[in-house]
Amino acid sequence: MAEEIFQSGILPSDSDFRIFRDYGDVPGLDIAQVSNGYVYHTVFDTFEAVPGRSVQNTGENILALVRAYTNATEMSNPEEYDEGHAVFFDFLGLFFVYYTETTGIVLNCVIAVISLGLVGFSLWRMARVSEVTAGQISIWFLIILGLHVVGLGLCLGLPLLMAVLFDAGDRSLTYFSSNWLVIGLYVCPAVIGLVLPLTLYYTLKPNGQLSHAYHLHMSLHAHCVILAFLAIVLTSVSLRTPYLCLLSMIFYSASLLVNLLSTLHDRGYYWTITVQCLQLLPFCYFCYLFYTFLVIFFPVLGRNNSGTNPDLIIALICALCTFFALGFVVQFINMFRWPKLILLGLGVVTFIFCMIAVSDVGFPYRPKTNVMRVNFLHTRRIFYEQDGSVSHNDSGYYFDYQDRRELNPLKDSSVNLSGLARVEPDCEKYVMCGIPCFYYSWCSQRTRAGWLPRETEVVLPEVELKFELLGKTVSEAEKTVRFDYELAGPPHMNVFVQPLGGAKVEDWSFVRTMLDEPEEFSAPYQIFFSYGKDDSPLKFYIVLSKSDGDFESPTLELGIVGHYVSYDYERDPEALQFIKSFPDYVHVMEWPSIFKRYIY
């Protein structure tokens, strides 16, 4: 499940191994430490923050993998043993389960069919014992099934609605430090939504022809039918996560089989004992699984950029946990005499948690442990026109917002943010909005970035960013032009390429992936260049074509960026003073940078 989530792109992170996978065709395995992600990429990310047991465990896993690979006969002819993906998961960290994707497809479908068969036999048994027709039982079951589908919609919808409301009131991430708030904010609404339709049905439209125990049993049957349907549908679209539905169905079908083979099925509420006993293991597993995802996502959403509402992800995780962990148990609320009072109590709990969340307890950030991440570059910008003249020259702080609240929590602090504005208006005028975004995740959110002008000029380190046009070659026959350049500067640099006037990039000296896959990559193209000891200049060329062959008018706009990331480079006094003005619950990641725009 974690693998499918990571590969889907939901997580705002990447693997350092990706470059070898994409361009070297090298297979590999990622190993990640997930606990206490709050310190990740901060000054608090020290060796002391990593448990020694975790380091030892990682080493033991790597050693076992190396030994297994070196002794594996499959390595001599991998194609012969290629069986596609695998379904794999651990149970409470105690043991590991894995089987092939093909086996998973068979298991999901077979168990789903068996579960549906047992549900059908149970309904026939109810009709026979209660002396009502099978048609009546079927109608009542379809009504309950429909209401349970509505309950599933509410189970997902109410927590998501809470997330939308809190975000609309600029109260997102209230759980960032106080994780327990999700119980009242999202779990309780999910429970209410899952139970409410059937509770209203049982209390407002009682049915004397069939015992309440049977009605309650049918509500669990409805949950099983939905799981069977989900397992079949999700398996048909080649997902492996339907094993969650498989686990639920196995334990419920086992309890149903025991009840059918014994007399418990038809002895009032005695069948609930078997159900509750066999639901203990899946309940523990689903709580363990979704708790793990919450541990991962809580800190991750503090660096998920400002473009998406992070509360929606947490609300969805809590809703799915409620659905899988409590789906076969939560309907037992309807066994009590006043189930609506229980749901009302859950509503009161939700209200109390909402009040706590909007208080100081819900303020997301804490010093050292749960910090607010603020990324900004003290930037000097110089815009050159085609004739070489400078049309604009200024300095300021470019902010790449890390979480949904952007810089709103700092409005009442000592940080002077007067004049802060979005860079979006500049996106139509300058390549890459005229900002030195560091790498692709920053650049993808550039329209939401902030620019804080600075009256004095940013003092840059001594390592100068040098960019020179070496030559321009026009081919009138092919209607192309080739520009040759040389770039030298700090160890981290960007080249942003934007064709102008209907021009198209035909070739360049970089990897052609972006040019050969236009459905995935479009201008402005982003080139990131870094070096270690070898600081020799980078020489490259760009070939453009134009249908009219006119290369005297503007054809190419380049953004050349130098990043002085290391703390070996000094910050100027004004920048240091600005950094010190941030509160202690803020972790600042910053460095000097320079952005030069050229037109050819």
* β-strands 372-384, 586-599 pairing: parallel
Pick the range with the lowest mean pLDDT from 67-71, 76-80, 564-568, 592-596. 76-80
Residue with tokens 């054809």: 555
Is 274 inside any structural domain? yes
> Looking at residue 47, what is its pLDDT?
87
Residue pLDDT, tens place only, 294-345: 999 999 999 888 888 999 999 999 999 999 999 999 999 998 889 999 999 9
230/352 same-domain check: yes
164/313 same-domain check: yes
Distance CA 318, CA 289 (A): 11
Residue pLDDT, tens place only, 545-561: 998 888 999 999 999 99
Each residue of 139-152: b (16+ CB within 10 Å) or e?
ebbebbbebbebbb
461/474 same-domain check: yes
Boundary-marking domain end, from 99, 130, 148 = 99
Longest Cα separation, the chain? 94
290/413 same-domain check: no
Residue pLDDT, tens place only, 129-141: 887 888 889 999 9
> Looking at residue 13, what is its pLDDT?
63
Mean pLDDT along residues 361-379: 94
> Looking at residue 148, what is its pLDDT?
95
Distance CA 214, CA 220 (A): 10
> Looking at residue 26, what is its pLDDT?
81
Distance CA 97, CA 86 (A): 10
95/127 same-domain check: no
428/482 same-domain check: yes
Strand order in the sheet with 504-508: 466-475, 480-488, 538-545, 504-508
CA distances from 262 to 271, 358, 395 (A): 10, 53, 80
Is 368 inside any structural domain? no
Boundary-marking domain end, from 99, 117, 148 = 99
Residue pLDDT, tens place only, 385-441: 999 999 999 999 999 999 999 999 998 899 999 999 999 999 989 999 999 999 888
134/223 same-domain check: yes
Residue with tokens 């037992």: 332
The answer to whether the CB of 220 falls within 8 A of the CB of 275 is yes
Q: Taking phi first (over 0 means left), then psi (-120 to 50 degrees means alpha), and beta for anything else, what does residue 9 get?
A: left
Give the domain extent around 92.
2-99
**Chain-centre distance of CA 405, in angstroms?**
17
Is 44 inside any structural domain? yes
351/430 same-domain check: no
Is 384 inside any structural domain? yes
Is 385 inside any structural domain? yes
247/263 same-domain check: yes
> Looking at residue 271, what is its pLDDT?
93
Is 369 inside any structural domain? no
Assign 11 a pLDDT band (cuts: 50, 70, 90).
low
For the chain, the average pLDDT equals: 91
Boundary-marking domain end, from 99, 119, 154 = 99
Q: Structurally, how many domains does the chain consist of?
A: 3
> Looking at residue 71, what is its pLDDT?
87
79/223 same-domain check: no
On the question of pLDDT at 81 being above 60, the answer is yes
The tokens describing 563, both together, are 């990043």
pTM above 0.75, yes or no: yes
- Please state the φ and ψ torsions of residue 543, each to the nearest 5 degrees: -110, 125
Assign 12 a pLDDT band (cuts: 50, 70, 90).
low
355/486 same-domain check: no
69/163 same-domain check: no
